[in-house]
Amino acid sequence: MIVDGVTKASFDELVEIETNDGERRLGKVLEVGSGKAVVQVFEGTTGLAITGTRVKFLGKTMVMPVSQELLGRVFDGLGRPNDGLPDPVADKFLDVNGEPMNPQSREYPTSFIQTGVSVIDGMLTLVRGQKLPIFSGSGMSHNILAAQIARQATVVGTNEDFAVVFAAIGVQYSEAQYFKRSLEESGALKRSVLFVNLADDPAIERIITPRVALTVAEYLAFDLGMHVLAILTDMTNYAEALREISAAREEVPGRKGYPGYLYTDLANNYERAGRIKGKNGSVTQMPILSMPADDITHPIPDLTGYITEGQVVLGRDLFRKGIYPPVNVMMSLSRLMKDGVGEGKTRSDHMEVGNQLYDAYSRAQEVRALAEIVGKAGLTGVDLKYLDAGDSFETHFLKQSPDENRNLDETLSRAWDILATLPEGELTKIKDKHIQQYYKGNK
């Protein structure tokens, strides 16, 4: 929307729009000059007439009222209550865009979060303050996995529970409902804040949803000292809303019609995670996105992977095989694992065991491909062992039930079970002293 006769508007300013029939909408200034302002209307421009629509520049950027009272509440995609309860009393008003965290003030994340999910704890360790997305595809079990993590996540040796900030971005009603119910049943709802923009809510509103959610997450973490797990689903819908605005403004597009600044824009959301020196709380982010056509090179997962600290990728093959969680470990990665595990944090063999499992499973996949050509009969001794190790990795380690909470010792012990099926000489990623301590197979 372009507004004429503007004298005092400033860039990024919040705008209130009143339609002919008295309806109020919110927007913000995208560009201003020569008496004109380009305004983005969050609720969409349907029903706005050229004449008669009035615009008020509010002289401030968009803010979110925050306080402890937000816990247990449900808001819409713009941060307005939609649970029928009154507006919470605000402790302060925070700019939803946030400000970049000074790298000098960051505290490097190192505390291991036990999720109770073997594949994550053993091979893709999550640490407090990390941003670790789930890359999924339509119909796969990302919601079940995220909900399981939200329910089970603990930092071993502390009693502090995670507060959950959940942002539904253009998802179906049933998906949002699933999360709410899961939080309710585990008793976590009272330490959660939900933001819901559904598939049939205005698309432009989605630009704001993660921002209000992360503003609240930062407040809970750095003002109230809580450990926050922020789940944003589905960032693909967010990026599509961004593309819509960019196309409407006739900007020069980057790849696949997405704006050239998609990377920067996503980073402005994803970088709102971490810890701060001298403060107690933390924001751990778990964005969920569906890869269009399961394609990891699509701009949305691609740029996300370039920003986040790893990714958990769900695989269609495993999903079809009925394995939950269907995590494709080869494509998945946790970059902060190295800092969250090991002597004094988890166990001194943790990293090496994780690496060896990757290696073994990767060899198993190669052997599987080979077996397709030459048949199982054409395989030699050690190759056969890898074939078995691959199968038992999937059934004994990867696979678990959505309500099964395994502690780290159990996870690592299952890992050593799998390594025990391989000859000792194959364990080239593990130091001799750990082999002596834990290896259960034949020498």
Partner 1 sequence: MVAKGRIVWVSGPAVKADGMSSVKMYETVEVGDSKLIGEVIRLTGDVAFIQVYESTSGLKPGEDVSGTGQPLSVLLGPGIIGRIYDGIQRPLDDIAEKSGAFIGRGITTTPVDMKKKYTFTPSVKKGDTILGGSILGAVEETPLLTHKILVPPNYPEATITEIVKEGEYDLEHIIGQASSKNGDKIELKMYHKWPVRKPRPYLERFDPTVPLVTGQRIIDTYFPIAKGGTGAIPGGFGTGKTVTLHQIAKWADSKVVVYIGCGERGNEMTEVLVEFPHLIDPRSQRPLMERTVLVANTSNMPVAAREASIYTGVTMAEYYRDMGYDVVLVADSTSRWAEALREMSGRLEEMPAEEGYPSYLASRLAEFYERAGRIRALGSPDRSGSVTLVGAVSPSGADFTEPVTTHTIRFIKTFWALDTRLAYSRHYPSINWMQSYSGYLEDISKWWKENVSPDWYDLRAESYHILQREDTLKEIVRLLGPEALPDEEKLVLEVARMLKIGILQQNSFDKVDTYCGPAKQLKLVRLMVMFYKEAQKALKEGKSLADIRALPIITTLLKAKFEVTDEEISKLEEIEKQLSDSFKGNIEEVKVSV
Which residues here bind ligand ATP, judged by CB under 6 A? 305-306, 333, 335, 338
Q: Which span sits near partner 1 by CB under 8 A: 75-83, 111-119, 137-145, 330-338?
A: 330-338
158 binds partner 1, rule: CB under 8 A: no
Listed residue (223, 186, 309, 207) closest to 262, CA to CA: 207
Residue recorded with tokens 């002293």:
433
Chain center to CA of 91 = 28
Give burial (CB, 10 Å; 0-12/13-18/19+) of 160. Answer: middle
The amino acid present at 268, given as its one-letter code, is N
Which residue, 305, 265, 312, is CA-closest to 126?
312
Phi and psi at 73, nearest 5°, equal -105, 160
With respect to ligand ATP, which residue has the nearer C-beta, 338 or 347? 338
CB of 115 to ligand ATP, least distance (A): 18
Q: What angle do CA 411, 414, 419 make, to 5 degrees?
A: 125
* Of 318, 286, 311, residue with least CA distance to 135: 311
The smaller minimum CB distance to partner 1, of residues 176 and 336, is found at 336
Which residue, 191 or 335, is less far from ligand ATP as judged by CB? 335
* Nearby residues of 392 by Cβ (< 8 Å), 6 or more positions away: 417, 418, 421
Rounded to a whole number of angstroms, the minimum distance from the CB of residue 177 to partner 1 is 32
Smallest distance from the beta carbon of 119 to partner 1, in angstroms?
15
* 338 vs 345 by CB, closer to ligand ATP: 338
**How big is the chain by its Cα radius of gyration, in Å?**
24
Residue closest to ligand ATP, measured at CB = 335
- Which residues, listed in sequence order, are joined to residue 247 by a DSSP beta bridge? none
245 binds, among ligand ATP, partner 1, none (CB under 5 to 8 A by kind): none
Q: Which of residues 357-376 bind partner 1 (CB under 8 A)?
A: 358-359, 362, 369-370, 373-374
Judged by CB under 8 A, which of 174, 428, 436, 442 binds partner 1?
Answer: 428
Is the distance from CB of 147 to CB of 192 less than 8 angstroms?
no
Instruction: Using CB under 8 A, count the residues that bind partner 1.
Output: 77
Toward ligand ATP, which CB reaches closer, 335 or 368? 335
Q: Which is nearer to ligand ATP, 297 or 401 (CB)?
A: 297
Report the residue number, 61 or 355, with the smaller CB distance to ligand ATP: 355
Residue 63 three-state SS: strand
Report the residue number, 182 or 332, with the smaller CB distance to partner 1.
332
1, 3, 9, 220: which one contacts partner 1 (CB under 8 A)? 9
Instruction: Judge contact between 90 and 112, C-beta under 8 A.
Output: no
| 402 lies in the site for partner 1, by CB under 8 A | no
In the complex, least distance from residue 335 CB atom to partner 1, rounded to whole angstroms: 7
Q: Which of residues 54-113 bind partner 1 (CB under 8 A)?
A: 61, 97-109
Q: Which of 279, 321, 376, 440 binds partner 1 (CB under 8 A)?
A: 279
- How far is the C-alpha of 177 from the C-alpha of 199, rounded, in Å? 13
Angle subtended at Cα 234 by Cα 238 and Cα 118, rounded to the nearest 5 degrees: 145
CB of 358 to ligand ATP, least distance (A): 10
Residue 31 interacts, among partner 1, ligand ATP, none and using kind-specific CB cut-offs from 5 to 8 Å, with partner 1
Choose among partner 1, ligand ATP, none what residue 315 binds, the Cβ cut-off being 5 to 8 Å by kind. none
Nearer to ligand ATP, 335 or 345 (CB): 335
Is the separation of the CB atoms in 298 and 135 below 8 Å? no
Burial 331-353 (b: 16+ CB within 10 A, else e): ebbbebbebbbbeebbbebbbbb
Q: How far is the CB of 304 from ligand ATP (least distance, A)?
A: 10
**Is 322 one of the binding residues for partner 1 (CB under 8 A)?**
no
Residue 299 sits in the site that holds partner 1 (CB under 8 A): yes
Under rule CB under 8 A, residue 22 binds partner 1: no
What gap in Å lies between CA 174 and CA 198, rounded to an integer? 10
For the bound state, the minimum distance from the C-beta of residue 267 to ligand ATP, rounded and expressed in Å, comes to 11
CA separation (Å) from 187 to 25, 150, 162, 314? 36, 11, 12, 28
Minimum CB distance to partner 1 smaller for 69 or for 359: 359
Cβ-contact 235, 289 below 8 angstroms: yes
Q: Which is it for strands 24-33 and 36-41: parallel, antiparallel or unpaired?
A: antiparallel
Instruction: Report the partner that residue 108 touches, choosing among partner 1, ligand ATP, none (CB closer than 5 to 8 A by kind).
Output: partner 1
